[in-house]
Amino acid sequence: MPSTLLKSAVNGTGVILHTGLGRAVLPQVARDAVMAMTDRYCTLELDITSGKRGSRHDLVTELLCELTGAQSALVVNNNAAAVMLILHALARDKEVIISRGQLVEIGGSFRMPDVMAQSGAKLVSVGTTNRTELVDYEAAITDRTAIIMEVHRSNFEIVGEEASVMLEDLVDLGTKTGIPVVYDHGSGAMTDLSQYGLGTDRTVPESVSAGVQVTCFSGDKLLGGPQAGILVGQKEWLDRMKSDPMMRALRVDKMIFAALHATLELFLDPEKLPALHPVTRMISESTSSLEHRAHILADRLRLQFAHRCGIHVNEATSEIGGGALPVRQLPTFVVAFTSEVWSNHALAKAFRLQQPAIFGRLVKDQFWLDVRTIMPGDIPVIEHAAQAVVTQLDSGTE
């Protein structure tokens, strides 16, 4: 089988939103919705009351408005596309003010200054890497200013001397000067994650209620849905984006709408999220449950490996990943392999070559499987694969 083929995988890395492994695992309801909308025709752009051509943009607007408190909403291909569309529709040939502390690079190829340049907006960076004050924004406003932009730092934190401007103060400044404030929220957190020890970041509904004109975020980070870029905010600005010529190239497919709608519906009843929404389940799993599952996995693997490897349960930390809060760590339990005969690289490769491909973490001379990202049904899969791993490594045919 060619190694470039898209294959299903078991994620033992502990990184919940692993971009290399496809980010969020979709909820069952989202998978069912995709099936139901793809094995026959569907009303992607037809209004069933009038029988006339409708707009695909309306499919999730109402639900997004209900969940976030926004007046309007729009879905594009990913959050990078959302930022591109905002800049193209609202700031082409004009100026965008942004703090130097927020000129981020996310996921290797999304560099804020480059995205600005591509969209035809002129970047006006203010303040310094670690300190930006309201007066810095005020002094940069000219009659060419189109947007005041706020970008979530997502993948880094500044430790030590730091000053940044509250979103509310930017909104006040924007209101006084008639300039919209745009917030690239990134992660798309809808609910307060402090209950899971993940800090007190502003949620999307909190960004909307702070008065931000347009907030954008990813569909496949903490929202736990399909790849998408979601924009919510005031109708006036979203209408301008809907009618931008670039919109046609950024629109998403019926499968995305089906999966996104089903995922969003789960947020109407947040108490059920840990049971029905895999990303929330992974974030919220208790350490006692993780420890229990790690011991089950370790016991089964010890049988398969029969003294060829030392197999232990260790305490460790998992990451959220995917450019969404990777700096925040969650305590977890891992199954750690130590071997005198096989290198940890050989072990990792043998697991990767199984079907589904199994990924873990290499730490010092060990190979780790972090149970936080291992799905309940994965344990028998790993046990079965371990048999093949042992056979292959024993015979030297890795």
Burial per residue of 139-169, b for 16 or more beta-carbon CB atoms within 10 angstroms, e otherwise: ebbeeebbbbbbbbebbeeeeeeeebbebee
Q: Which residue is nearest to ligand PLP (CB)?
A: 186
Considering beta carbons, is residue 228 or 385 the nearer one to ligand PLP?
228
Q: Contacting ligand PLP (CB under 6 A), which of 132, 154, 213, 332?
A: 154
In Å, how far are 269, 288, 348 from 272, measured between CA atoms?
A: 6, 20, 36
203 counts as binding ligand PLP under rule CB under 6 A: no
The reply on whether position 57 binds ligand PLP by CB under 6 A is no
Q: Determine the Cα–Cα distance for residues 174 and 28; give it in Å rounded to an integer.
A: 42
CB 226 to ligand PLP: min, Å: 11
What are the structure tokens assigned to 359, written together? 């990924």
The amino acid present at 195, given as its one-letter code, is: Q
Closer of 184 and 285 to ligand PLP (Cβ): 184
Listed ranges 6-14, 48-56, 78-86, 384-392: which one lies at the site for ligand PLP (CB under 6 A) = 78-86
| Binder among 110, 305, 367, 368 for ligand PLP (CB under 6 A) | 110
**Rounded alpha-carbon distances, angstroms, from residue 353 to 76, 139, 227, 347, 380:** 35, 57, 26, 10, 17
For the bound state, the minimum distance from the C-beta of residue 18 to ligand PLP, rounded and expressed in Å, comes to 13
Please choose, from the candidates 143, 29, 132, the residue with its C-alpha nearest in 3D space to the C-alpha of residue 93. Answer: 143
Read off the amino acid at residue 227: Q
In the complex, least distance from residue 152 CB atom to ligand PLP, rounded to whole angstroms: 4
Q: Rule CB under 6 A: is residue 79 a binding residue for ligand PLP?
A: yes
Among 16, 25, 73, 106, binds ligand PLP (CB under 6 A): 106
* Type of residue numbered 194: S
Residue 175 is which amino acid? T
Q: Is 205 in the site for ligand PLP (CB under 6 A)?
A: no
Residue from 80, 190, 273, 374 in contact with ligand PLP (CB under 6 A)? 80
Residue 17 touches ligand PLP, criterion: CB under 6 A:
no
Question: Is the peptide bond preceding residue 356 cis, with omega within 30 degrees of 0?
Answer: yes
Nearer to ligand PLP, 70 or 189 (CB): 189
What are the percentages of helix, strand and coil residues in the chain, rounded to 5? 40, 20, 40
226 interacts with ligand PLP by CB under 6 A: no
- Which phi and psi (to 5°) does residue 114 adopt? -70, -40
In degrees, rounded to 5, the angle at the alpha carbon of residue 352 between the alpha carbons of residues 351 and 357 is 100
237-256 mask for ligand PLP (x: CB under 6 A)?
--------------------
Q: Does residue 218 interact with ligand PLP by CB under 6 A?
A: yes
**Residue spans of alpha helices (H) in the chain:** 28-38, 58-68, 79-91, 112-119, 134-140, 167-177, 204-209, 235-242, 247-250, 254-266, 273-276, 278-284, 287-305, 344-352, 378-395
Residue 107 touches ligand PLP, criterion: CB under 6 A = yes
Q: Is 324 within 8 Å of 350 (Cβ atoms)?
A: no
171, 136 contact by CB (below 8 A): no
If one asks whether residue 323 binds ligand PLP (CB under 6 A), the answer comes out as: yes
CB of 8 to ligand PLP, least distance (A): 21
**Can residue 78 be called a binding residue for ligand PLP (CB under 6 A)?**
yes
Stretch that binds ligand PLP, among 77-85, 167-175, 337-345, 356-364 (CB under 6 A): 77-85
Q: Is 229 in the site for ligand PLP (CB under 6 A)?
A: yes
Residue 321 interacts with ligand PLP (CB under 6 A): yes or no: no
Considering only residues 127, 186, 224, 225, which one is a binding residue for ligand PLP as defined by CB under 6 A? 186
Give the residues lining the site for ligand PLP (CB under 6 A): 78-80, 106-107, 110, 151-152, 154, 184, 186-187, 218, 229, 323-324
